[in-house]
Amino acid sequence: MEPLSLPPYKRTCAGEMVVHYGEVFCRVPDCDQRRTTFANTRNMRMHLHTHGVIVAPTRSGQVSQGTMGATIPWYQSFFVDREEGDRDQDDEDHQDISKEDNTH
């Protein structure tokens, strides 16, 4: 299975990187640790500082329901696109097999 293709970071109007709740993978291009799973978002945010970027601040404490509600669809979008690609590949594979069956 190939790794997920993650989008680039969005930035605030002040140029700060926006990190979503629960993120544990660095998305900085050419980072040696892009495939490293950080233990938590805080550790990943600290890692981003090694790239010399400023990370947009987040509220401390418990995550709000609004933040959770906005974050879940963002994560699901990676898998919806991937599942559609998998279905397309399955369809192509099935068509290839059907063509082979008709040639005998």
Digit-by-digit pLDDT tens for the chain (104 residues) are: 455 678 889 999 999 999 988 899 999 988 988 888 999 999 999 999 999 999 999 877 777 888 878 888 877 877 765 555 555 555 554 454 444 445 45
Contacts of 47 (CB under 8 A, 6+ apart): 26, 33, 38
User: What confidence score (pLDDT) does residue 94 get?
Assistant: 46
Distance CA 27, CA 30 (A): 9
Distance CA 24, CA 96 (A): 38
Model-level pTM?
0.64
User: What confidence score (pLDDT) does residue 99 get?
Assistant: 47
- 3 state SS of 11: strand
User: What confidence score (pLDDT) does residue 80 get?
Assistant: 66
Q: Rg of the chain over CA atoms, in angstroms? A: 19
**In contact, 8 and 29? CB cutoff 8 Å:** yes
Distance CA 41, CA 20 (A): 8
